[in-house]
Structure 1
Amino acid sequence: MNTLSPNFRNVIVIGASAGGVEALVEVVRNLPPDLPAAVFVVQHLPARAKSNLPSILQSYTGMVVREATDGDPVQAGTIYLARPDRHLLVEGDRVGVAPGPPENRFRPAVDVLFRSAAYTYRERVIGVVLTGALSDGTSGMWMVKRCGGLAIVQDPEEASFPDMPLGVMQYTEVDHVSPLGQLGGLLGTLVRQPLVEARDI
């Protein structure tokens, strides 16, 4: 029932940093509760802090929200959240949680998630970069596009911290620059559009 179809863009990866909790709430609350996609989220978190993000987001959606556990099956209708001080990856049809070295000064890092999803699911990936300082997500989104996926950024003019969306826009041809309030609906539309053709790399 929750298996991902290979014929749709149904793997959504989202990266956020400063100002990200509020942005994620706005996105999640506007996602259709029957979204036929798996959603993976990296929000930069303090290494030793217990994250309240699962309970916060769960209160705004009918989807399943959970902190990722190594080996979890990738299922539609589920939002997987990175744990503090652990990278979140996609490895085949399983979720990966790994210590690994920090990237861009962060663990979890957006680039790690985006790269792993792009390598695994290629044109089925939709990458989303929200508000945040510095440049995490820039190279990862480039790889999403390189593998045939879609690139979406929050409109930097409304982002609390526009560095991350602007960094992506500087180095990658983005498909959509979206106001936060419209992002959930946009994702709900995109995941239901069949893939016309696979992109050869």
Structure 2
Amino acid sequence: MDVTRKRPPFCIGIGCSAGGLKAACEFFQQVVEKTGAAFVVIPHLSSEHRSKFSTVLERFTEMPVHRVEGEMRLEKDHVYVLTEDRMMIVEDGRLKVRRRYSTEIINKSIDIFFKSMAKAYRENGIGIILSGMGHDGIEGIKLIEDYHGLVIVQDPDTTDFNILPQAAINKDDPHMVLPPADIARFLLRYLEVQGQSELS
């Protein structure tokens, strides 16, 4: 089988922390069409117990949802969720995972993934910041924009925890600021247009 046929042309990274599960469910509930993209969710998780993030997310999407505990190849119209106590990058169409070091007291998992995605997918990398606390992801979205990718941030007024989205807006100039369901609808239109451009 030619693996390049299944390799997604777009990678959509979704970073969140507190309150992010609710926002992610609202987002995926509206992704009702095949986009050909791979969706990678990077939530901040407690390292002390097994996360149910992917299990809950499965109820809100028809796409296959994977807990990423080891190296995996990205496929179109699949959802990949980072697991607890892990850090992840994307390289050569594959997700690569390592344990979070004991020295990594501040969780920078969103930044680490977004930076790798920006380098690997360049203008076809899409970074989304949802509900959360802290400032993880700010460096990552700047690099995504440096490579001419797309950055979308959840409207802080629609979040349970607005520090992360507000910091992303203050530190950067995202292309769109929308509620989760509208982010999904915008992406469907955006990816459709991009697909048509590639065919023309």
Please say whether Structure 1 and Structure 2 have the same fold, judged by a TM-score greater than 0.5.
Answer: yes
Cα 1:124/1:55, change in 2 over 3 Å: same
Q: Determine the structure 2 residue equivalent to 1:54.
A: 54
Shift of 1:194: 2.1
Q: Determine the structure 1 residue equivalent to 2:95.
A: 95
Shift of 1:103: 5.3
Q: Determine the structure 2 residue equivalent to 1:20.
A: 20
Counterpart Cα distance in 1 of 2:105 and 2:17: 12
1:140-159 alignment to 2 at 5 Å?
Answer: 140-159=140-159
Shift of 1:33: 4.4
Could you tell me whether the CA contact under 8 Å between 1:40 and 1:81 is conserved in 2?
Answer: yes
Is 1:31 the counterpart of 2:6? The answer is: no
Counterpart Cα distance in 1 of 2:131 and 2:104: 18
- Which amino acid is the alignment partner of residue 137 of structure 1? G
Counterpart Cα distance in 2 of 1:104 and 1:168: 21
Runs of 4+ in structure 1 over 6 Å off: none
Cα 1:100/1:85, change in 2 over 3 Å: closer
Counterpart Cα distance in 2 of 1:94 and 1:48: 27
Is 1:168 the counterpart of 2:168? The answer is: yes
Counterpart Cα distance in 2 of 1:33 and 1:60: 13
Shift of 1:79: 0.6
Shift of 1:104: 7.1
Which consecutive residues of structure 1, in runs of 5 or more, have no partner in the other structure? none
Is 1:4 the counterpart of 2:5? The answer is: no
SS of residue in 1 equivalent to 2:156: coil
Q: How many residues align?
A: 192
Shift of 1:100: 4.3
Cα 1:65/1:173, change in 2 over 3 Å: same
- Which amino acid is the alignment partner of residue 183 of structure 1? I
SS of residue in 1 equivalent to 2:140: helix
Cα 1:89/1:155, change in 2 over 3 Å: same
Counterpart Cα distance in 2 of 1:121 and 1:49: 32
SS of residue in 1 equivalent to 2:121: helix
- Which amino acid is the alignment partner of residue 98 of structure 1? R
SS of residue in 1 equivalent to 2:152: strand
1:178-193 alignment to 2 at 5 Å?
Answer: 178-193=178-193
Give the TM-score normalised by structure 1.
0.89
SS of residue in 2 equivalent to 1:126: strand
Counterpart Cα distance in 1 of 2:147 and 2:21: 28
Counterpart Cα distance in 1 of 2:161 and 2:104: 19
Structure ranking higher in helix proportion: 2
Q: Deviations over 1:77-130 (max 9, x none)?
A: 1111001000121011111111243657116x1111101100111110111000
- Which amino acid is the alignment partner of residue 158 of structure 1? T
